[in-house]
Amino acid sequence: MFIQVDRATKRYKSGDVETIGIQQATLELAKGDIGVILGPSGSGKSTLLNMIGGIDRVDSGKIIINGINICAMHEKELTEYRRKQVGFIFQAYHLISHLTVQENIEMISQISENPLPMDHVLSAVGLTDKANRFPRELSGGEQQRVAIARSVIKNPQVLLCDEITGALDYASSIQVLEMIQEINRTYGTTVLLITHNQAIAAMANNVYQFRSGEVTEVRTNSQPVDARGIVW
Amino acid sequence: MVLNNAVWRTIKEQKGQYVGLILIIILACFGFVSFGMLGTNLQTVCDAYAKQTVQEDLQFETMQSLGDLRAIGDAVHATIEESRSYDEVFEGRTLRVFSENHSVNRPALLEGTPLSDGHILIDPQYAKSNTLRIGDPLTVAGKHFEIAGFVALADYTYITKNASDLINDSKSFGVAVITRNDFSANVQADSIRYVVKFLDGSKDVFTQGALLKKYLREHRIGIDYANWSYALNNARINTPVLKTKSVKAFSAVMPIMLLLASCVMIGLIVRRLIKTQAGQIGTLYALGYRKSELIRHYLRYPLVISVVGAVVGTILGIWVYPTLLIYYLAYFPMPIESATLVPGIIAWGLILPFMLLIPFSFFVIWNILKSSPISLMRGEMSVRKPSWLERSLKLGKVSFSLKFMLREQLRSLPQLFFLMVAIAFVTVFLNVGMIIKHSFDALASEGIKSTFDYQYEYLFKQPIQSPVPSGTEPLDVVFVQSDQNKQQQIELIGIQERSSFIHLLDGEGNPLDVDHQDAVILSKSLVKSLHADVGSFITFTETNVTDKSFTLKVTAITTSPTGAQVFVPLATLNQIVGLPFGSYAVLISNYGNVPVSKDQRYTMRSLHESSGNMQNMLQQVMAAVYVMMFVSILIALVLIYVIASITVQENQAQISLMKVFGYRMHEIKSMILNPSGVGVVLGYMLGIPVTLYVTQGVYQQIMDSMNLTMSIQVNGWYFLVGFVLVYGTFECSKLMCISRISRVSMSETLMVGRE
Ligand SMILES: Nc1ncnc2c1ncn2[C@@H]1O[C@H](COP(=O)(O)OP(=O)(O)O)[C@@H](O)[C@H]1O
Ligand SMILES: [Mg+2]
């Protein structure tokens, strides 16, 4: 298995109040597969994704990526892990407003060992002619495509997508999902995608149902559909 | 209002910025109060001293006694008194002992008991340098005296051996006073001067002086007076007055500059703060808060800073100024009752920060809060539109880090601009002292020495015609004034043709000589003050003896570091003033034992001494230069740190994102903080020409006061060292910001878009 999460638990303390992020969550995903995490708001989906992405640490349990337990890593090793293996895409795009589209992407390519060619990536997300625009001058869908290009240019092993269609209209959403699928097919990138839109689950190999910090159900699709064919 | 509880919390969170800012304000108020009160107190002390001692307006010497001083005084509305002195020389030290004066330049007792027969009062600097205490014995002209106390003499406030000396050396020269009885009974005076206090307040001293001179000449009293010297031009008397003026100027200029810098900084900080809290503000607006309430809230920040800075700075100033006063008065001994507080200065010290910071902050806050609540809430200000400059900047192939750096700068032009200006100022303060010191060194070690290339001067009381001993050269000096500038005393010097001791150079460095009888070489400093040039005719009037006028045509200008001097052949000078051929009044030589016939009265002056004094003074100056450099670096550190830490705050989201994407700490650090380096480097470069300009001005002032001309000598190394210091400061401030960067958490990124 490429991604193995074994009874991972994370609690947040603020003052006397303790909230459960995830509780004994267990999950597995094979290399090159797409996994979709479904679940209500506050059920711990993002928490889990952040643990897998190495931006937060579990209290207990194990997270093994490509055979290596990232929970045992030092801060510096975690940085290297994020730098070399992980691509992140967020609902809120998080582009840097005073850098152009191309510069936003370059910001990642310049720290990658084997970045994909810039032209290639730009045209893959259909933004070749907008490379010199600033984020403010783009639509939401376009901005999310910049974020995709940015996370993909380093050719990551794992692509983590947190509600990336949450703020987009239907057409833009489908476009974005198609791109994710395309990346998965072309580069064999393992994709873990959070959504609370049931329909999107159709494109996954594995679907994980989350409830109160736990994976309550795992389904396997033998025949994932093309993103283009998803309707809601 | 709820927000107000947040003031202290915010200040604590960003304590580096606020502490830095408060430090600058403390420095400003401290400077204002301490130097302001120092200036005012010095002024008071000088005024009181002049009054108490009946300080002279004028002094002069004559060949013959003036006779009835009272009659002359009555005729010209003045008090005139004789001032007799005797130089007691032993072991290379000179103690100039005066006979006690009663009506002009009365000695002022600083410590000990009043003067009585058998006792002597000495100046405290000499006493200290030579470890003499009250009660110690002291021998003058073979007679034993007991030191009864310390004294200040009104015509020796700045105690120098020769009137033209720039620097005092209390180890080798001091003044003292004994009673008239003791003086006439034991001592043969070797100098008799007349000291004059004018009484007619309606005329200036120069006018009254001219009247006195006219009276003396008309009545043929005295004849041949020399060294006619007004107190206003007498360095021994006016040095403390001039110092007082510069202290006062400094106390106003430096703090205001610092406060202006604080204004800009608080502006940047508050702007940043409001932007960070824009969402909150929008909500408060929506809940019905008024703009004035919000403005009042944000004004609390400059208010808190000003209160702390003003109070601490003012208290420090009040605490330190007596020490400064004592330090100054050690150089210019004058009696002082006690240091007095000046309420006006304290009040201004307390108010000034508010007067500048509050209106400025008000303007900044008011300007930001103009936005509508909705746009504030949407945080539109934090996702600002790229300016046309940013948009039109097309960066094709350059490296990403360069692009990033440029974008960062364009995004925060006001910060860049402020940093540049601030660093330029720091550069000036950092380098001015060094350059002036270096120029002085050059002047002392090469300039003056190579121009006046001899060791000893033999100054005769009267022009003589004896044969010139071998190994010496004759010259003569008369004092003249020009119609162009009546206040300036000019030396007309007759020198020997092809002099081997005096080497004058023209602007190109070629030697000049008085090689024909009409040769007239003007010193560069006179070119400006007399508006003269090669070929001009200048009318001079001989001021000491004859009041004769004559016109000379300038044949050359010398740029050698000479005073206000005009050089002509000795023979020509003798002819002009009507002295017999072959007359001279000075011999210059490298020998200290030139055979001069016994009946010629003369004094010998060694130029060695004065260059030793120069070294002494340079050491004192260096201490001041180092303090100034230290303070500049401190200010630079605070300024750069505040800017850097605002930059970190402004880029929090970006830093967080960079961490998520796997940027290493040192990469983040250099990408976020290095762009400020542009401002530092540009500022320093901008500062170099400004420094040269300012330094030239300051140096010119000093040179003018010494009647010298010489431009500054710049050594590139100083600028390099200065740059290393400033850049080191920048690196330091970066180090100070690292912890702030590492504290930015990755969840910062993830928070947005949650819920
Ligand atoms: N940094 C945090 N500090 C405190 N509580 C947190 C933090 N992150 C998440 N939580 C809490 O953990 C739970 C799971 O949150 P999250 O993983 O974001 O859910 P989801 O992404 O499924 O909506 C929630 O109750 C949330 O409030
Ligand atoms: Mg979430």
Mean pLDDT over the full length of chain B: 84
- Coil/strand/helix, residue B454: coil
What pLDDT is attached to residue B454?
83
| Weakest mean pLDDT among B24-38, B235-249, B377-391 | B377-391
Are B18 and B309 within 8 A, CB to CB? no
What pLDDT is attached to residue B487?
66
Percentage of residues in chain B having pLDDT higher than 90: 25
Asked if pLDDT for residue A36 goes beyond 90, the answer is: yes
CB contact under 8 A, B395 and A103: yes
Q: Sorting pLDDT into bands at 50, 70 and 90, what band is B753? A: very low
CB contact under 8 A, B407 and A98: yes
Taking the Cβ of residue B653 and every Cβ of chain A, the question of whether any pair is shorter than 8 Å is answered with: yes
Please enumerate in sequence order all residues whose Cβ is within 8 A of that of B219, keeping only pairs 6 or more positions apart, or say none: none
Helix (H) or strand (E) holding B705: helix B665-705
Q: Sorting pLDDT into bands at 50, 70 and 90, what band is B754? A: very low
Please enumerate in sequence order all residues whose Cβ is within 8 A of that of B558, keeping only pairs 6 or more positions apart, or say none: B504, B505, B506, B512, B521, B522, B523, B524, B567
Q: What is the pLDDT of residues B601-637, one digit of tens each?
A: 677 777 766 656 666 666 766 777 888 888 888 888 9
Interchain CB contacts (distance < 8 Å): A and B:
84
User: How large is the average pLDDT for residues B720-742?
Assistant: 90
Taking the Cβ of residue B397 and every Cβ of chain A, the question of whether any pair is shorter than 8 Å is answered with: no
| Weakest mean pLDDT among B66-75, B116-125, B336-345, B545-554 | B545-554
Q: What is the pLDDT of residues A115-134, one digit of tens each?
A: 999 999 999 999 999 999 99
The DSSP bridge pattern shows strands A190-195 and A34-38 to be parallel
Asked if pLDDT for residue B260 goes beyond 60, the answer is: yes
Asked if pLDDT for residue B705 goes beyond 80, the answer is: no
Residue of A nearest to B412 (CA): A98
pLDDT, greater one: A151 or B649: A151
Q: What is the pLDDT of residues B141-175, one digit of tens each?
A: 889 999 999 999 999 998 988 776 667 778 889 99
B745 lines ligand 1 (CB under 6 A): no
Residue ranges of chain A whose CB lies within 8 Å of a chain B CB: 41, 46, 50, 53, 55-56, 76, 79-84, 86, 88, 90-92, 94, 96-99, 103, 106-108, 110-111, 132, 134, 136, 163, 166-167
ipTM, two decimals = 0.93
Distance A162 CA to ligand 2 centre (A): 7
Nearest CA to CA, how far is A223 from chain B (Å)? Answer: 33
Please enumerate in sequence order all residues whose Cβ is within 8 A of that of B538, keeping only pairs 6 or more positions apart, or say none: B482, B484, B522, B530, B532, B551, B552, B553, B554
Taking the Cβ of residue B379 and every Cβ of chain A, the question of whether any pair is shorter than 8 Å is answered with: no
How many residues in total does chain A contain? 232
What pLDDT is attached to residue B100?
94
| Weakest mean pLDDT among B257-271, B577-591, B676-690, B706-720 | B706-720
Going by alpha carbons, the residue nearest to atom 16 of ligand 1 is A44
Residue of A nearest to B742 (CA): A75
Q: What is the pLDDT of residues B60-103, one digit of tens each?
A: 887 778 888 888 899 889 999 999 998 888 877 889 999 999 99
Per-residue CA distances from B377 to B7, B17, B282 (Å): 21, 26, 4
Asked if pLDDT for residue B755 goes beyond 50, the answer is: no
Q: What are the residues facing B82 on neighbouring strands? A: B194
B411, B746, B754: residue with CB nearest A98: B411
Q: Which two tokens stand for residue B748?
A: 């910062």
| Chain A residues closer than 8 Å to B746 by CB | 55-56
User: How large is the average pLDDT for residues A199-214?
Assistant: 93
| Weakest mean pLDDT among A128-142, A158-172, B403-417, B447-461 | B447-461
What pLDDT is attached to residue B225?
65
User: How large is the average pLDDT for residues A136-140?
Assistant: 90
Give the span between the Cα atoms of B398 and B406, in whole angstroms. 11
Taking the Cβ of residue B407 and every Cβ of chain A, the question of whether any pair is shorter than 8 Å is answered with: yes
Taking the Cβ of residue B754 and every Cβ of chain A, the question of whether any pair is shorter than 8 Å is answered with: yes
Taking the Cβ of residue B410 and every Cβ of chain A, the question of whether any pair is shorter than 8 Å is answered with: yes
| Chain A residues closer than 8 Å to B391 by CB | 134
Which of A47, A160, A195 has the most ligand 1 atoms within 8 A of CB, as the residue to mutate?
A47
Q: Sorting pLDDT into bands at 50, 70 and 90, what band is B545? A: low
| Weakest mean pLDDT among B237-241, B352-356, B605-609, B719-723 | B605-609
Nearest CA to CA, how far is A205 from chain B (Å)? Answer: 27
Going by alpha carbons, the residue nearest to atom 21 of ligand 1 is A46
CB contact under 8 A, A98 and B753: no
CB contact under 8 A, B746 and A108: no
List phi, psi (to 5°) of A16.
Answer: -90, -10
Q: Sorting pLDDT into bands at 50, 70 and 90, what band is A38? A: very high
| Chain A residues closer than 8 Å to B410 by CB | 98
Q: What is the pLDDT of residues B268-278, one digit of tens each?
A: 888 888 877 77
